Structure 1
Amino acid sequence: MIWTVPNILTALRLLAAPAVAVMFLYFHRPWADWFALVLFIGAAITDWFDGYLARAWKQTTKLGTMLDPIADKAMVVIALMVIVGYSSMSPWLVLPATVILFREVFVSGLREFLGDTAGTLRVTKLAKWKTTAQMIAIAVLFGQGVAEHYIGAMARITVMLGHAGLWILWIAAALTLITGIDYFKKSMPYLKD
């Protein structure tokens, strides 16, 4: 196991995922929202840097290849759980979050089942856009939580952030669904008896 700078960034991102939820256990709002937002954005930025550095420095490792998608999924899943848990449980939030959670678990299961042939499910450009959209939507929704406490729940900026976050989350859910179907189609030849 080689601990390169990119692998360390990925591991830190993996540790940041549960820390987002822990912020809401140990801090009151709006501090929990602030800490979760800063932690989430910092971790999302490392998602770009770890891959870039691994390629630029030729430090791509099996450990990093394994941990990177796990860290991405953990960040998204845990952050969505927190956002949904602290929301009004609006179907406009719960439905895209459910689509995203279902796809992430489904594709992970496909990859595990396919084992060595999982190379057929390599990350596509659209899947990278999906992850980017998910992380932007989550950051905007955490930002709405911050704005509610400083500006007020009825202020225009809070409402605008909420609407923007939901729109981006729906776009992310659509991309998530499309990439999930694409991965399922690619795995079909390996699922036949």
Structure 2
Amino acid sequence: MILVYEFMQNGPLRDHLYGKNIPPLSWKQRLDICICTARGLHYLHTGASTGIIHRDVKITNILLDENFVSKMAEFGLSKDGPTTEQTHVSTVVKGSFFYLDPEYIRKQQLTEKTDVYSFGVVLLEALCALPAINPSSPREQVNLEEWAMQWKRNGLVDKIIDPTLVGHIDPESMKKFTKATEMCLPLDP
């Protein structure tokens, strides 16, 4: 038995945000990648009778083709979603820790919201070009989600964006992007 994967010329999203010496993505490219990823997650959640919950949404599992079109990868932790009679699937918590929905960790109840929360962390990484967790950062910046949402609560999102994007983001676009991020992540964890 073998697995066959489509070749994704531009590799994982992570390589284009940090960690590699690659020219940074423009704001439009980042938006297009995030929108395409959101559509992919929506398809997973609604395309089958029970839907599929990915359980490991993160920037290393978002691959980019030659046109920077994103596709979800690595379905090893995926589970069928709840049936119409269920609200959740009870399961052992799995996934990448700093992308995990705190509610999923507490209740061990898998829902589409588990992927949505992880996608919110991906949105923050796309905006800030910082990893979800960075132990070498100052203490208050180690967990990107907590650090970024603190800035959001103080109305200072413009202070945390990737420096290569400063002055290149339309304020209305930023407003919609941060609203989408807020919808994925709770303001009070």
State which structure, 1 or 2, has the greater radius of gyration over its C-alpha atoms.
Answer: 1
Alignment TM-score, normalising by the size of structure 1: 0.34
- Give the TM-score normalised by structure 2: 0.34
Higher helix share: 1
Structure with bigger RCO (C-alpha 8 Å, 6+ apart): 1
